[in-house]
Structure 1
């Protein structure tokens, strides 16, 4: 698969009017004769989203349309960052992180908890905020996780204790890997047939939208 378009090349430049970004469960269930509901995970949990663009002048919408047509035709990937929350409330512009490089310091044996180091002293994350890092060997893979713990605070040495994230952390992670907290992104592709093309009036075009899904390769 081709290298993904960077955030600057596509996603971060979109003028978005509405967006959804979520992690649907991939489960099936059955019932026993005694009324017990049995549930089983049947696939990887992948981030999904729907983007609706704001109305714009024809030329700006046509420029976006050209990229979408190419991505849809070839199935090529792009980076998509978490929305609408894409930065810590404690540090919405990333200014506190300037000069610091947070890294993954450990992952618990249950793969649902991790710890970070390299943060500014006392740096905080809240439940629902996001983090991303790359992992694996060979083609780069992009991990994107949401903080499940109520709050996370770094010590004066810039390290955190273990905290819960969703989804679970997949094999291939390595200590010392840089962690992104501002516009944390996953690798995604357009869902086939999901693009709604714009309607054009005398001055503006509107109505363009698309669905995307995370890809791990």
Structure 2
């Protein structure tokens, strides 16, 4: 019987903490923050559930545009067998680019999302999720450029990789780099269904926490 590979990073805690739409509602206790952003229905909630292995931690909705607040999840890790737990926040932002959301709502969302991204000093990096089945849309390109222009470190995650064959996924990742205009960009393929990409993302988070 094959010995199961020991994980370098083990999630020991995953819990919803709070929701916010303004600075006064951010958590009082400061912790490192890893932010998830993407178009509505790109799979943010599924990825958070996969990453933490807590079923329904982030509610998966069939209705795009359901997340309307900044949602904080408190997560604990043990790295390389350490007895000490390292706690941080996963921060789930409302999806962008959802056409059925009224213009007024979109303006309100943009205001509190921009305020958070530009003013939080705890952000380690932003995970921008893009559906691997399609070329990045204009809203994806605009968000990527906005994050880079404002000096926020970005990790692009190609979601729903289980929907494509391995070779088709590789071609599409090359295409995504071309459309985003950064040929040397690292893009992490992720399947929430199969947990593929999970250990790589946890490694990136752990590396950021211990540097």
Give the structure with the higher percent strand: 1
Give the structure-2-normalised TM-score. 0.24
Larger Rg: 1
